[in-house]
Each structure stands twice: as C-alpha cells, then as structure tokens.
Amino acid sequence: MKKIGILHNELAQMVASMGHGDQLVIGDAGLPVPQGVPCIDLAVTFGTPTLQTVLDTVLAELCVERVTLAVQTEHANAALWQSVRQYADTENWAVDVCSHDEFKHRTRNACAVVRTGDNMPYTNIILHSGVPF
C-alpha cells in the first residue's frame, strides 16, 4: 500500500498517465461531466472532500504549466482564487480566465473530470500538464 501521495486508484493512474498538454479538470459537486469524458468521483458528501484538498494532493504529483478558471471564481470563491494565484506565482504558471459557459465547453477536452464534494459555486479548475524538464 502507498503511504504518501494519491491513494485513490483511478486518480493516481490518471495523473501518472498524463503527458505534456493533457488536461485534468477538478470540479465541484455540480459541474457537469461531458459525455465520453471519464469521471473520477471522489464526492462523499457536500464539502467532502473539498476541491482545495484534492488540488493540493494532485499538485504534489502533477507537473502543471497552466491553469484555467472561470472569471466568476474570483468573486464566488476568493479563497480558491487566491490559492491558485499563489501557486501560479510560485510555480510560474500561466492562468487563463474564461466565462463559466466557456469553461464547461473546455472540459470536453479533458482526460478526466475529478468530482469533489465541494458545494461552493464556480469551484472548478482545469490543470494543463507540463513537463518537469
């Protein structure tokens, strides 16, 4: 048994299989999952796990070069917005911002959508995989 990192089998496999430019969506409990895109459902109940918990865990293992957020996130979830901006500054990521409708359209290109139990509106992010070299 692993003793650190991502313990969820499907999520660990997805992160390990991602290549440069692949996209992983981490979303709140209400984000629709496009037909044909795998859903890794981690939701237990509203609020568990939070998107922030899942994001921090994934970012410990996934090399990211860019993220996408809906513009509505800044006001609907200022804590997530600030957290992502801090990561972006520290890790030198590009941050793309689009409307929530455009965000949902972009999820069609994801390798998977990770569903959390977060129940705050607009608590969603697209991680664009980078390379560690």
Task: Out of 20, 75, 105, 128, pick the active-site residue.
Answer: 20
Closest to 70 in 3D by CA, of 28, 18, 125, 29: 125
| Feature table: binding site for substrate | 28, 100
- What is the secondary structure of 11-37 as a DSSP string? HHHHHHH--TT-EEEEE-TTPPPPTTS
| Feature table: binding site | 28, 100
- What is the sign, positive or negative, of the torsion defined by CA atoms of 66, 71, 90, 78? negative
**Dihedral angle computed from the Cα positions of residues 129, 33, 118 and 41, in that order, rounded to the nearest 10 degrees:** -80
> Annotated catalytic, 20?
yes
Which residues form the catalytic set?
20
